[in-house]
Chains A and B, each alone.
Chain A
Amino acid sequence: MDIDWQLFSDSLWPIVRGGLLGTIPLALASFTIGLAIALVMALMRLSANRFVSFLARAYISVIRGTPLLVQLFVIFYGLPTLGVTLSPWPSAIIAFSLNVGGYAAEVIRAAILSVPKGQWEAGYTIGMSRLTTLRRLILPQAARVSVPPLSNTFISLVKDTSLASLILVTELFRKAMEITAYSYEFLLIYVEAALVYWVFCLVLSAGQTRLERRLDRYVAH
């Protein structure tokens, strides 16, 4: 089998560029919005109000119980039926944000529950309200606990954004598909795309390790 190294090197920059301008911004935007959704869902899930807690439970269950690709298609191809037509980028961001919101909610909830009850009481005894205790004491400690699992969520998300190619978002994998459309070099180009994803994820993993090491300094052992 001959490897078309010329095509390989010509394709590298377009694919990487698709990653830098498509995959990464898409993942960052969705992750940020997704975390906000997750925090709200986690707090709702912990609420003493059974109805509020039920709503969050239902949301998490739907998100985790249905394929991401289907969620993406419902939003992009399905919503127009209801008169809601969104272009590829907003559709993708909405779908991925909702998805991250469902998965990260459970991570954040577990992290909040892992903070000892004594921390709440220490907050209360110095006169803090529930909300202030949550904001100043519980969430900062929960954040440290949730860095490793949330980093994993982020890395998964980076890979999952390749699904956005199917709703026409020009990200890394879409670029690769476009190249195969005229070159017919499926193996070469898709392996090349895989390599680029891999390098992205290696860089992110290294960042994760550094972040964890830094946060570890403040954690009580």
Chain B
Amino acid sequence: MSPTDSAGQGPALLTASNLQKSFGDHQVLKSIDLQIGKGQVLALIGPSGSGKTTVLRCLNGLEIPDGGSVCFDTGPSVEFTAGTTQKQAQVLRTRSAMVFQNYNLFPHMTVLENVIEGPIQVQRRKRSEAVAEATALLARVGLEQKHDQYPHQLSGGQQQRVGIVRALALKPSLLLFDEPTSALDPELVGDVLKVIKELADEGWTMMLVTHELAFAREVADEVVFMDEGVVIERGHPEVVLRNPQNERTKQFVHRLLNPF
């Protein structure tokens, strides 16, 4: 499905430097640096409100940072300034696609139509080709029976799998997941995590915001812990999640693992 690289230390696919973002006088991102290698899985963790979603949105051009840059290995590369427009940030979406916490499927389209919309309308691919690929992708995630259903006829877990397939169908170099299982009933979380794990094993490059620390430990090559718009600690999952060096990381991980 995607070019497999040795999971881990490929050449940097994406480099984000010094990302800054304020909403009014609330500085939400204070100089964020991130790098992700080809085929790598990066898990972004941190307390609610720490700026994780904003990071992903900046990488996808949905939010325009006040400063900093986002560069893909073979382009595009965007240098953000006060005057950067939506249009200029839009090029980032040729390389990455986002999977949303609440799916954001198109309610007026069937499952199949949701998936082929991007390939046909944006990438101008042949319909027959797009349908064939969408069919294969949907079968991969166990939704071969659901082509002609509408999103509201599906469970949350099924909807999120459609959301993932919709992103995959664009063949992006980088998949961005924003808490993909947070809106799901607990018994449906596993199905979605399983799909994400398979994608990781296939060599897709992914950045994943999640509170599922056990899952992060299993799939991630690197874990980045953020708090209040700053990267506090980063490193191998075994280190950051089992033996964090920073006091705030320790507290956060401890609280997630021992909620009571």
From B98-106, B204-212, B229-237, the one touching the partner chain is B98-106
Q: Is the interface of A mostly helix, strand, loop or mixed?
A: helix
Chain A residues whose CB sits within 8 angstroms of the CB of B107 once the complex forms: 141, 218-220
Q: How far, in angstroms, from A144 to B105 measured CA to CA in the complex?
A: 16
Q: How far, in angstroms, from A122 to B100 measured CA to CA in the complex?
A: 8
Number of A-B contacts (CB under 8 A): 68
Q: Considering the complex, which residues of chain A in the window 114-130 have a beta carbon less than 8 Å from any beta carbon of chain B?
A: 116, 118-119, 121-122, 124-130
For B101, the closest partner residue in chain A by CB is: A118
Judge whether A136 is part of the interface by a CB distance below 8 angstroms: yes
Q: How far, in angstroms, from A140 to B60 measured CA to CA in the complex?
A: 25
Judge whether B123 is part of the interface by a CB distance below 8 angstroms: yes
Contact (Cβ within 8 A) B93 A125: yes
Chain A residues whose CB sits within 8 angstroms of the CB of B100 once the complex forms: 118, 121-122, 125
Contact (Cβ within 8 A) A140 B122: no
Q: How far, in angstroms, from A11 to B60 measured CA to CA in the complex?
A: 68
Judge whether B74 is part of the interface by a CB distance below 8 angstroms: no
Judge whether B150 is part of the interface by a CB distance below 8 angstroms: yes
Contact (Cβ within 8 A) B90 A122: no
Q: Considering the complex, which residues of chain B in the window 155-194 have a beta carbon less than 8 Å from any beta carbon of chain A?
A: 166-167, 170
Digitize B44-82: 1 where CB-to-A-CB distance is under 8 Å, 0 elsewhere.
000000000000000011100000000000000000000
Judge whether A167 is part of the interface by a CB distance below 8 angstroms: no
Contact (Cβ within 8 A) A220 B102: no
Given the contacts A118-B102, A218-B107, A126 and B117 also touching, CB distance less than 8 Å: yes
Judge whether A132 is part of the interface by a CB distance below 8 angstroms: yes
Closest Cβ–Cβ distance, residue A219 to chain B (whole Å):
7
Interface, chain B (partner A; CB < 8 A): 60-62, 86, 90, 93-94, 97-98, 100, 102, 104-108, 117-118, 121-123, 150-152, 166-167, 170
